Every structure is written in C-alpha cells, then in structure tokens.
Amino acid sequence: MATIKAVVIKHHKKEDGTFNVKVKVRHKNEVAYIATPFFVVKSELNRKYEITDAIIQTEVSNYVNILRKALIELDGKPGSLSRYASTYVVTSISQFSGQYLSAINADMGFKWYGYRGSNKTTTREFCEHMVKKGYIHESEFATVLSGNIDGHQCRIYEKTPENKGTGLPYGLMAGTTPENFVVNRGGWNCNHSLYPIPDAAVPKEIRKKLEKSVIFAKNSEKNMADKVGNTENPAFRYTPEELALIKQKARSTLDFGREEIIGKYEFKHEAFDGRLAKFTRNSFLENLRYGEAFEDKIEMLKNIDNLLENATYDRFDDNARPKQKPDVSGYYVFSGVFKNNDVEYMFEKRKDGTIIFHFIKLHKKSD
C-alpha cells in the first residue's frame, strides 16, 4: 500500500533559515521526496521536526489530501501510483505543486521565482545551472528555455528528420513554454521547485543586474521603433507591414537552417587542423537580428555553404571577453564578398576543441 505524508528534513535547512516541506511518497519499496510550495522556520517545528503551527498544518494537510486522492484513489478508481511508473508519478506530483503555486501567485502577483532543490549525479544540465542561478524573473523564462542560463548554453535537443527533438534543453518536456514553465519546470522526474517570492527576498545585486538588462532591452526596442516607418534614412525603412514580412522571412530562414544546414552541413578548412565547424540552431538565431542589412543576412544564411567555399581565411582573434565567455578561446575569421560588400564570417573556437559557426559581419560600402 502506498503512503503519502508531509515531512520536514532536518539537514535540508536553507541559507535563509527556512525548511521546505516535502511530500514523502513510499510505493513498492521506492521512496521519493517532492518539494512543495510550503516553507517553515525552526520556531514552527517541534524537536521531531513536525509542524506545530496550526495554520500551516491545515494548509499542508489539505495539500497532501488532494494529492493522496489523485495518486492513490480517485472516485473509487486506482490513482496514478497504481496505474503509472514512478517517473510519471514524481512528475505528476511536481506538476501538481507547480499548478498549486501558479494559482497562489495569481493572487500575489509576484514576478520573481526561486529555483531550489538538491543536485544529484543524475541531475540534468538545465536543472544544475538553474539551481546555481537560484533566482529568476518571469521575463527571463524564454531565455532560459532557449538554454541560455546566465551565459551558459545548455545542450539543445534539436529537431531533425531523424528524431523528434523538442528544440528545448535536454530533459525538458515537449511543449514547455514561458507560460507553463512554472508547472513543467525541469521536465520528467524533476524534483526541483520553482516558487514565487517577493522582490524584497531577492538579493539587491541580482535585482539591479536584471534592471540594467531591462533598460538595455527597452532602449533596443525604442531604437527598433524609431526605425519602423522612418523613410528619411534608407537603412531604417521598415513599415509595420514590412517588419511583419521580415519576421516571416526570419522564421523561414530558421526552418531552412534546420532542414539543410544545422546538423547536416559542416565546414572544413585547413586552419581548423582537420576539425569540422558545426552549425547550431543558436548560431542561426544569433544572426537573425533586426536592423541594418538584416535582409541581406537572411539571403547570406540561405547561401552560406556557397559563400564559405569562396571565402578566404584571414586571421584568428583571441577572445576579448573571457569573463563573459570563459569556455571560448577565440575566433577564426574568414573574409569574402557579398553584393560588392566586404563580409567577415566568424567561427567560435571553444576550449573543448569544438568549432561553432558564430556570426556574419557585413561591411557595407558607402555610396
């Protein structure tokens, strides 16, 4: 018979002095501890680390009862513990916790979240770096789901004709979006918690860091808005309708990259010492930025194999930003011509020996 109960683990005390209440699930000699939305302090526990606060006891008891009915028995029928493997059970509990938190936060309106939990030898890369990050603002959800966590790029399960990849970091559930990230979190069998917290609970330096990035993003949006409909400067000629068309072209270019370039086309040159340069989804996204020469870059990406075959190796530039990119040694730079304009193609050399197509620099000649 499966048992489900709430417990507080003595050695799981956090830096802020709180303990996360866990749900302990025992089923067929297997035990799992799942994080919940509830936190207590030492004064709310007795010597056996049992909850003594009456209000918290009631909240936790209601939470566990709902969970117990869903997992053990639902309307007289066997619950998830009887019908599914333990991986699905752990996942369903975590999702239940996320849905519970989302409902609570709908009233509280918090924008910051804490990503908490213990890492194990089996912890996936995404969760490992999210736990290290610790605090995340809801505006960062899309960025971390692209695999970029504070400058670290997680491996992406790419979609190819050979497999039905998710386009997300390895381990995350297919269909995970910024809207359901609080529920799905780190994916299958993830025991980590993502819970809303007030601004004041977030370290000041972390909040300031986000504010600076938001100011930068708003300035970038303003610059782009200045370009829309501005016919005086031919470089900033886009109307809203034209901009919509450009976005459509960008999507089709990325689709082309997935089908023809990413994971298929590899660039080989003697400067690489026999190694092959890889083309990744992120390298294509990096080049699909709005602004001057954007449409030219789309055309260049769609003809990248032919352009590179006619390019000339120029030099190797050392990494000028080692703190921001500690895993990068430098960049191989190739020069070429596109529509009578000088072009530089940059390939990123990483310290593990891999070479990744990085960026196109188009130097337009003045009329």
Among 169, 160, 360, CA closest to 262 = 160
In this structure, what DSSP letter does residue 83 have? H
Tell me what pLDDT residue 280 has. 87
Same domain for 21 and 141, yes or no, is: no
Please write the tens of the pLDDT for every residue from 80-110: 444 444 444 454 555 555 555 555 445 456 7
263 and 339 belong to one structural domain: yes
Query: So what's the pLDDT on residue 343?
Result: 92
Q: Which residue has the higher pLDDT, 150 or 213?
A: 150
Poorest-confidence range of 1-5, 135-139, 215-219? 215-219
CB neighbours of residue 190 within 10 Å: 26
Tell me: pLDDT of 54 over 80.
yes
Q: Which residue has the higher pLDDT, 361 or 63?
A: 361
More confidently predicted of 34 and 253: 253
Give the residue-averaged pLDDT of 271-295: 80
- Verify that 167 and 207 share a domain, yes or no: yes
Q: Please state the domain count of the chain.
A: 3
Q: Is the pLDDT of residue 233 over 90?
A: no
Task: Decide if pLDDT at 250 tops 70.
Answer: yes
Alpha helices in the chain (DSSP H): 54-71, 80-83, 86-108, 125-133, 141-145, 181-184, 204-227, 240-256, 281-287, 294-302, 304-309
Tell me whether strands 152-153 and 148-149 are parallel, antiparallel or unpaired: antiparallel
Averaged pLDDT score across all residues of the chain: 76
Confidence of residue 164 (pLDDT cuts 50, 70, 90): confident
The pTM of this model reads: 0.42
pLDDT score at 87 = 47
Q: Residue 365 carries which DSSP code?
A: P
Residue 363's pLDDT is: 81
> Which residue, of 175, 202, 227, is where some domain finishes?
227
Average pLDDT over residues 228-240: 49
Query: What is the biggest distance separating any 2 CA atoms in the chain, rounded to whole angstroms?
Result: 81
Lowest mean pLDDT among 173-177, 189-193, 272-276: 189-193
- For residue 71, pLDDT over 80 is answered with no
Do 26 and 124 belong together in one domain? no
Q: Which of 162 and 349 is assigned the larger pLDDT?
A: 349
Q: What domain range is 242 assigned to?
A: 229-363
Based on the domain organization, do 100 and 46 belong to the same domain?
Answer: yes
pLDDT of res. 224 = 47
> What 3-state class would DSSP assign to 197?
strand
Whether 103 and 116 map to the same domain: the answer is no
Q: At what angle do helices 54-71 and 86-108 cross, to 10 degrees?
A: 140
Query: Of 19-28, 92-101, 159-168, which one has max mean pLDDT?
Result: 19-28
Among 227, 259, 280, which residue terminates a domain? 227
Residue 159 exposed, middle or buried by CB count within 10 Å (0-12, 13-18, 19+):
middle
233 and 350 part of one domain: yes
Torsion angle of alpha carbons 268, 272, 274, 276, nearest 10°?
-40
Residue where one domain finishes, among candidates 85, 108, 131: 108
Strands 341-350 and 355-363: antiparallel
Q: Residue 253: its pLDDT value, please?
A: 85
**Co-location of 271 and 251 in the same domain:** yes
3-state class (DSSP) for residue 362? strand
Please give the residue that has the higher pLDDT: either 85 or 166. 166
Work out the angle at residue 123's Cα, subtended by the Cα atoms of residues 120 and 124, and round it to the nearest 5 degrees: 165
Residues 48 and 114 in one domain: no
In this structure, the answer to whether residues 280 and 170 fall within a common structural domain is no
Query: 191 with 128: CB under 8 angstroms?
Result: no
Residue 231 — pLDDT band, cuts 50, 70, 90?
Answer: very low
**Whether pLDDT at 313 is above 80:** yes
User: What are 114-133's pLDDT values in tens digits?
Assistant: 887 777 777 889 989 998 89
Shared domain for 265 and 282, answered yes or no, is yes
The per-residue pLDDT for 102 is 56
pLDDT attached to residue 232: 46
For residues 223 and 233, membership in a common domain is answered with no
28 torsion bin: left (phi>0), alpha (psi -120 to 50), beta (else): left
pLDDT at position 317, please?
93
Amino acid at 239: T
- β-pair type (193-197, 112-116): antiparallel
Given this model, what pLDDT does residue 216 score?
47
- 277 pLDDT more than 90: yes
